[in-house]
Amino acid sequence: MNKKCLGCGIPLQDKDINLDGYISNIDKNICTRCFKIKNYGVYNKANMSNKDYIKIMDSITNNDLVIYVSSLLNLNIDYINKFKDVILVLTKRDILPKSVKDNKIIDYIKKRYNNIKDIIIISSIKNYNMDHLYNTILKYGIDKKIYFVGSTNSGKSTLINKLIKDYGNNDITITTSMYPSTTLDAINIKLNGLNIYDTPGIVNEGSITNYINNNELKKINIKKEIKPITYQIKDKCSILIGDYIRLDFECISTSITIYISNNVPVKRISINNPILLDNIISGYNDLKNKDIVIEDICFIKITKNTRVNIYGKYNLSTIIRDNLI
């Protein structure tokens, strides 16, 4: 069988129900896994690794156009340096406060990367900048293979579905969900003469999405504009984020602002409280004008020189960057 699932891109097979791509009827066009995600919200983790992703990325040539998609929550785009011809698309503009200016974010990125043709901040949900994005793809992508790449849950497939719905004339719908690694292989879509490929997301083994159950995923998944939480800190202070993360701060005086789903409880606790102290994830010094990014859950803005130890229920990835906002 040479067919691929129209939802996730995996080759279809009807031999083994326990393997990816299984269908009970060879006339169907989406696998059982996609059918359950779309119709019942039931997610089964797939056998996907970064080896599969890298194999697809290595097939991209300098003649191809890359649409690099990143969520504004994580803004983890270091992999972008691998590509020559890139349009950077920053998704989920609707989750950041309206007071945050697009131009400031664009200037922030331009100072750090020099291989980007254009930077476009969008919201698929709010239809923000979608015309601009489509016209930019038309400008640079005619007669090229166009690859949408980025981390898992960055919004690639949701974005392509929006382009198909608003500008296309077919009824293909890629499977989307809040779960990691929904797309499993490259999916080719023809859109008004454009040759588009949706690709699996980069698998981050330190993402919280790899550890928590479906109900907790719904809680951390940001659907509405974030209401930032700010604390004034003097000397020593501990902040607890849900029951996932503890941050122990030590400084003379600073303010911290946490950008996270409004559904996740955040509170100050006593420095002597032993909760979550069994597993230290990382520790940082000299965090003046830095953000701590805890992948797929939050970022914390720090304004003055601070030391912090981060403890967690799971071994989560943390990244330090200059203040984005």
Q: Where do the DSSP E strands lie in 172-306?
A: 187-191, 194-198, 229-241, 245-260, 266-269, 280-284, 290-294, 298-302
Q: Which residue has the tokens 């979608």?
A: 130
Average pLDDT of span 281-309: 93
User: 175 and 68 in one domain?
Assistant: yes
Residue 9 falls inside a structural domain: yes
Tell me: do 284 and 301 sit in the same domain: yes
Helix axes 130-141, 156-167, angle to 10 degrees: 90
Low-confidence winner among 4-13, 22-31, 48-57, 107-116 (lowest mean pLDDT): 48-57
pLDDT of 20 higher than 70: yes
CA distance 14 to 252: 64
Q: Are residues 60 and 126 in the same domain?
A: yes
Range of the domain at 104: 48-203
**Mean pLDDT of the 296-315 span:** 94
pLDDT per residue as tens digits for the range 165-187: 888 776 666 655 555 666 767 77
Between 207 and 177, name the one with better pLDDT. 207
User: Residue 218 falls within a domain, yes or no?
Assistant: no
On whether the CB atoms of residues 37 and 31 are closer than 8 A, the answer is: no
Residue 72, domain member (yes or no): yes
- Looking up tokens 């006593």, which residue turns up? 270
Domain boundary among 203, 219, 248: 203
Query: Residue 164 is which amino acid?
Result: I
Query: In 199-244, where does DSSP find H-type helix?
Result: 214-220
Question: In this structure, what CATH number is given to the domain that contains residue 140?
Answer: 3.40.50.300
The answer to the question of residue 81 being in a domain is yes
Candidates 106, 138, 133; CA nearest to 122 is 133
Q: Is the pLDDT of residue 108 over 60?
A: yes
Asked if 261 and 122 sit in the same domain, the reply is no
Instruction: Specify whether 1 is located in the same domain as 54.
Output: no
Instruction: Provide the 8-state DSSP code for 165.
Output: H
Shared-domain flag, residues 31 and 53: no
Instruction: Classify residue 278 by its DSSP letter.
Output: T
> Quick one: 242 and 283 in the same domain?
yes
Residue 68: count of CB within 10 angstroms of its CB = 24
- Split into its structural domains, the chain has a count of 3
Mean pLDDT of 46-60: 72
Lowest mean pLDDT segment, chosen from 95-104, 180-189, 208-217, 302-311? 180-189
Question: Is residue 176 domain-resident?
Answer: yes
Distance CA 54, CA 48 (A): 11
Residue 213 lies in a domain: no
Q: Does the pLDDT at position 133 exceed 80? A: yes
Please compute the mean of the pLDDT values over residues 73-89 and round it to a whole number: 84
Calpha distance 112→114 (Å, rounded) = 7
For residues 57 and 186, membership in a common domain is answered with yes
Averaged pLDDT score across all residues of the chain? 86
Q: Residues 23, 49: contact at Cβ < 8 Å?
A: no
